[in-house]
Amino acid sequence: MGDDVLSPRIKALFESDDPAASEARLWAELRKDGTPLIERCPDDPQACLVTFLWKADRPVEQVRVVETVSGLPPQRRSLAPAPGTATRFLTWRIRTDVRTTYSFEIVDASGVEHVPDPYARVREAHDFAALATPGVPPLRSVLVCPDAAPLSWADRRPDVPRGTVVEGTYDDGRQVWTYLPPGHDEPSAPLGVLVVLDGHAGHSASTVLDNLHAEGKILPTAALFVQQDDRNKELACDAEWSRHLAEDLLPWARRRHPLTSDPAATVITGCSLGGLCAAYTGLTHPDVFGGVLMLSGSVWWDPDTLRAYARLADPTAAAADPAATVVGGRSRTPVLIDEFMRADPVPTRIYQEVGTFETGPPPATPGQVHASRHLRDVLTLKGYDYRYREFAGGHDETWWRSRLGDGLIWLRGSGADA
């Protein structure tokens, strides 16, 4: 990400003797080719010029781009009006391998509205409950720079057989959906298990599993999509919830479906807080979960950090207890890292991915990527069998949907790809 610059196409619009006619030609091309506008950076082969564009159909006060990679304040994400036109634009230098979900924040007299880019060349139906935002459409706009890594495991393929998803209600009333791979309704041997936290019936992991099975990339694997009642409690290194998963919920599922009890074939996965819980559960119950698949796991998490941040953000708390809101207090090692440091190594294999640009926002201190690197170093020193990767993005489902497949190939691979 670099300083704001002026796109050659937008520069031509500024210099036109007839801005309205130039604007009409520009938007005719954009409607055909899609947005944002992506141009190679003439002085840097590893960067491109990305121009986010919005054509106002009503008076607006501001249009801001919302994405997962810049970490910039609102004023640096605002689109500027092109004089004599209804077009607003914002051009950034961006690395050519970046991929990010984005949307627009429209501010007008009636309030703030979040909308996808109506002309986005790439759109995805995102479904991870961890990032669900009220009022934001599920069809998300995605910026894919020219050298971004291809992602395909989560794309529905018309020629691939689909597994079945069976709904069930667990003893405590929560919903649990079970995915069974195609042709394995009555398998000759128990199926491997993938426990998906923040689960729901339409989770794209079903498509990922269908594609992996069709290509023979993984051994036959079922999935349990587990609904969270209170994710901020259950997924935050909660010993009782992890015990519940290992000792209650999995045996319940095995009584209903032909699922293995072999820990080497049992994987737990989640993104964000779900990734934190997956790693904590794998550490504390290695006799049940032999594989952990973390996608942008919230390794930074610590209750003291959250409490301090809440006090700083609450003026009434600051007034009531000024000493408790001192800036600069030392933070302790995040809980998950501390747990792995203190515990003897366990035979659980760990696949960990995080975005290179996951450096915040608060209260993620240390930043997600920095905490993840710390955990990676601890796993190295402890001698774990693990794989660590970073992707050129932020805290973003557009990466998680497909990288789930890469992690499963490593953890459940059927051959050379394992």
All domains in the chain, ordered by first residue: 8-144 (2.60.40.10), 164-412 (3.40.50.1820)
pLDDT computed for residue 331 by the predictor = 67
β-strand partners of 99: 144
Q: Which residues of the chain have pLDDT under 50?
A: 1-2, 416-418
Q: What is the pLDDT of residues 246-281, one digit of tens each?
A: 999 999 999 999 999 999 999 999 999 999 999 999
pLDDT computed for residue 363 by the predictor = 73
Report yes or no: 390 and 356 within 8 Å, Cβ to Cβ: yes
pLDDT computed for residue 323 by the predictor = 54
C-alpha separations of 151 from 4, 20, 244, 352, 399 in Å: 28, 39, 34, 17, 8
- Determine the Cα–Cα distance for residues 2 and 95; give it in Å rounded to an integer: 9
- Determine the Cα–Cα distance for residues 251 and 185; give it in Å rounded to an integer: 19
- Give strand ranges (E) for 75-174: 80-81, 87-95, 99-108, 111-115, 123-125, 139-144, 164-169
pLDDT computed for residue 414 by the predictor = 76
**Which residues lie below 8 Å from residue 286, measured CB to CB, with a gap of 6+?**
263, 346, 347, 348
pLDDT computed for residue 2 by the predictor = 46
β 266-271/349-355 pair status:
unpaired
Report yes or no: 90 and 21 within 8 Å, Cβ to Cβ: no
pLDDT computed for residue 186 by the predictor = 67
pLDDT computed for residue 138 by the predictor = 63
Q: What is the pLDDT of residues 171-215, one digit of tens each?
A: 888 889 999 999 876 667 899 999 999 998 889 999 999 999 999
pLDDT computed for residue 416 by the predictor = 40
Residue type, 23: E
- Determine the Cα–Cα distance for residues 338 and 215; give it in Å rounded to an integer: 39
Helices (H) and strands (E) in the chain, counts: 12, 17
pLDDT computed for residue 131 by the predictor = 54
pLDDT computed for residue 136 by the predictor = 52
Q: What H or E segment, with its residue span, contains residue 395?
A: none
